[in-house]
Structure 1
Amino acid sequence: MTAAVSTRQAWLMAARPQTLPAGAAPVLVGTGLAIDAGVFEPIPAAFALVGALLLQIGTNFANDYYDAVRGADTEDREGFTRVTAGGLIDPESVKRAMYAAFGLAILIGTYLVYVGGVPILIVGLASVVAGITYTGGPLPYGYRGLGDLFVFVFFGLVAVAGTYYVQAVVGVAGKFPLWIPDGTVPAAAIVAGLPAAGLSTAILVVNNIRDRETDAASDKRTLAVLLGYRASRIEWTAMVGLAYVIPVVFWLDGHHVAVLLAILTAPLAVRIGATVWRRSDGEALNPALERTGKLLFAHSALFAAGLAAPALL
C-alpha cells in the first residue's frame, strides 16, 4: 500500500488538510466581529489567515515526527496514515518541513508584529513553541493530558481575539504598540472565540477517543486516556454544545438575529455525536473526525456571516 503513495501524496498526508479548518475558522470569526465593529482591515486579516494555516501545518508536521520517534504511532493505530511512522517520508525531512512551516509563519508574523506590537510577538512565539512542544521536547504536554487545553486556548480564544486585535489596533495606535491599547480586545472578542475553541477541541477529542487504547499502551497520557470513554464523550458534547450557546448569548445581547445562522449546523453535530457516543474504532471515527472539522468550518463561517450581517446589509 505504501508503494502506491507518491511523494506528493505523502506530503499532503503529512500536512493533514482535513485539519486546516481548525486554523481558518477562528480567523473568519475574528474578521466577522471586526466587520461588525467597523474595524475591518483586509491586509492584517489576510496575514492572520495565512499565518494561522502555517501554524496548523507546522503543528501537524511536528506531531507526525515526534509521535513517530517517541513510538506513539504503532501499526495498531487506527487513525489516518502517519508518514514518518509509515516510512513514507524519512524523519529528518519531516522535521525540516516542520521548521520550514513554522519559519514561514514567523515570516508572515513579522508584518503582524509590526502592526500589533509586543502582544502579537508574544502570542506568535508562544504559538510556535506550543505547536512544537505539544508532542516534542523533554516534557510534551500532549502526553500529559494538556492537549485539549492548548487547542481550546490557541485555536479558539487566542486566534479569534488575535485576529480581531490586529485589525482593531490599526486605527487606534501607532506601529509596534508595547501593550494592548484600550478597546482593541473587547470582551466580545473573547466570548466569540468560545465556539471555535469548543469545536476545535472536539476534533482532538474524537482523535483521542479513537486512539485511546494505543495511546495508553505507548504511555501517551491524553485526556481521553486519563478520563476514559464516557467522560471523554461528555467532554465532546460539552465542547460542541458551547458552540450553540454562544450565538444565542450574542443575540440576547442585542446582536442581529443573523448571528443565529450558526445553529443551522446543529443537525450535523447531532449526527456526529451519535457516532462518537457509540463507536471507538477508526472505521467510524476517522469519518467523524473529518466531519467535525467540516462542522467547525461551517459553524464558524455562518457565525462570522451573522456577526458581519448588520454592516453588510
Structure 2
Amino acid sequence: MEKKVSKRGAWVAAARPRTLPLALASIFLGSFLAAFYGAFEWEVLLLAALTTVFLQVLSNLANDYGDSIHGADSVEREGPSRSVQAGHISAADMRKAMILFACLSFISGVLLLAVAIDFSWQELLFFLGLGVLAIIAAITYTSGKRPYGYAGLGDISVFVFFGLVGVLGTFYLHTGYVEPALFLPAASSGFFATAVLNLNNIRDIRSDKAAGKLSIPVRIGRRAAVFYHWLLLGGGLLASAIYVLLNYRSPWQWLFLLSVPLLVINAKAVKEKETASALDPYLKQMALATLAYVITFGIGHLLAK
C-alpha cells in the first residue's frame, strides 16, 4: 500500500533540500577565496546564497516537472518517485511554483547586484544576462520541447554554473576582479558537482534509457561511467593541488586533503553498489563531501593568510 503524502511533504520532496549544500558550495568557495585575497562582504555572501537557493529549488521543481512529463520519472523509475509523476502535485501547480521561484531568483539577483556592483552598465548587463541564463538553464534542463539534459549536456551546464560561474562570479562580486589562477579551484567545484550529477545518472540509467534520456552513463555504459566518475573526483583534487602549488604560503593550504577519505568512499560505492536504492544515499554523501572540501579548502587558506 502506497504511503500517503501530505501536500507540504510533497512540496518539500519536490524542492529536494538535500541538493542545497551542493548548490551553496560554489558560493562559499568564492567567498572564502575573496577573503583569502583580502576582500569579503557579508551582504554579498548572504544574497548570493539566497539567489542560489532559489535557483536550485527552481531547477529541482523543473526537473520534477520535466522528467514526469517526458517519462523519465515513470512508475519504472528506480530512484525516489517525483511529486508530479506520483500525482501528489498537479503539473499546473508545479508550473506556477516554477514561475514563482524564477521571479524570486531574479529579484534576489537584482538585489545582489545592487549591493555588490558600483554603477556600471557593462557590469550590470553582464550579470543580469548571466542571471537570466542561469534561470533558463535551470528550467530547460528537463523541461521544454528540447531539454538539454536529455541530450547528455547536463554535465557541461553543471560544471559551468556550479563551478566556474558560481565560484568566479561570487569572487568578482566581492572583489571587483578575477584572478586567472582561480579557474583551478572553480574547476574543482565544477568537477565535484558534476560527479553528483553523474552518480544520479548512473543510478537512473535504466529508466533514463527507457525514456530516451541520453545522459552520459546511458551513452557510454555503466562501466565507463564509473571510470568517468573517478576522473571527475581525481580532476577536482588535482586542480586544487595545482592551485596550492602555484600559490603556496603555508601547509594549512593542504587542509582540503581531509576531504579525500569522503571522496574515496564515494568512488568505491559507485563501483560496488549497483542497485538504485544502494546508490541513492551516496548522492547526499557526495554533496556533503563537496561541502567538506570547500570548508576545509577555505579554512586552510584563511589560516594561511
**What TM-score do you get using the length of structure 2 for normalisation?**
0.93
What amino acid is the match of 1:296? Answer: T
SS where residue 204 of structure 1 aligns? helix
Partner of 2:276: 282
Contact 2:184 2:240 in 1 (8 A): no
2:293 to 281, 296, 299: 299
Partner of 1:186: 179
Deviation at 1:97, TM superposition (A): 1.1
Contact 1:251 1:257 in 2 (8 A): no
Corresponding position: 1:155 with 2:124: no
Corresponding position: 1:264 with 2:258: yes
Identity of aligned residues (%): 35
Corresponding position: 1:230 with 2:237: no
Give the whole-Å Cα distance in 2 for the aligned partners of 1:125 and 1:2. Answer: 40
Partner of 2:173: 166
Corresponding position: 1:143 with 2:150: yes
Which consecutive unaligned segments of at least 5 residues does structure 2 have? 118-122
Change over 3 Å in CA distance of 1:94–1:276 after alignment to 2: same
Deviation at 1:287, TM superposition (A): 0.8
Which consecutive unaligned segments of at least 5 residues does structure 1 have? 170-183
Give the whole-Å Cα distance in 2 for the aligned partners of 1:94 and 1:280. Answer: 32
Contact 2:73 2:81 in 1 (8 A): no
Give the whole-Å Cα distance in 2 for the aligned partners of 1:217 and 1:145. Answer: 15
Partner of 1:221: 214
Deviation at 1:111, TM superposition (A): 2.1
Question: How big is each residue's C-alpha offset from its partner over 1:212-243, in whole Å with a ceiling of 9 and x where there is no partner?
Answer: 11111111111111111122111111111122
Give the whole-Å Cα distance in 2 for the aligned partners of 1:79 and 1:129. Answer: 26
Question: How big is each residue's C-alpha offset from its partner over 1:90-130, in whole Å with a ceiling of 9 and x where there is no partner?
Answer: 11111211121121110001123332522211211110011
Range 25-34 or range 110-119, more displaced: 110-119
Partner of 1:9: 9
What amino acid is the match of 1:86? Answer: A
Alignment of 1:205-220 (within 5 A): 205-220=198-213
What amino acid is the match of 2:127? Answer: I
SS where residue 5 of structure 1 aligns? coil
Deviation at 1:300, TM superposition (A): 1.2
Partner of 1:239: 232
Give the whole-Å Cα distance in 2 for the aligned partners of 1:283 and 1:54. Answer: 28
Alignment of 1:96-175 (within 5 A): 96-114=96-114, 115=117, 116-169=123-176
SS where residue 304 of structure 2 aligns? helix
Give the whole-Å Cα distance in 1 for the aligned partners of 2:55 and 2:300. Answer: 27
Contact 2:253 2:304 in 1 (8 A): no
Deviation at 1:23, TM superposition (A): 1.1
**What TM-score do you get using the length of structure 1 for normalisation?**
0.91
Partner of 2:120: none
SS where residue 86 of structure 2 aligns? coil
Deviation at 1:278, TM superposition (A): 2.0
Question: How big is each residue's C-alpha offset from its partner over 1:16-45, in whole Å with a ceiling of 9 and x where there is no partner?
Answer: 111111210001100010001111111112
Contact 1:55 1:102 in 2 (8 A): yes
Partner of 1:25: 25
Give the whole-Å Cα distance in 2 for the aligned partners of 1:62 and 1:92. Answer: 12
Contact 1:156 1:198 in 2 (8 A): yes
Deviation at 1:255, TM superposition (A): 3.9
- What value does the CA root-mean-square deviation take over the aligned residues? 1.4
Deviation at 1:3, TM superposition (A): 4.7
Question: How big is each residue's C-alpha offset from its partner over 1:284-309, in whole Å with a ceiling of 9 and x where there is no partner?
Answer: 11011111111111111111222222
Give the whole-Å Cα distance in 1 for the aligned partners of 2:164 and 2:3. Answer: 42
Task: Tell me how many residue pairs correspond in the alignment.
Answer: 297
Contact 1:157 1:193 in 2 (8 A): yes
Range 261-270 or range 62-71, more displaced: 261-270
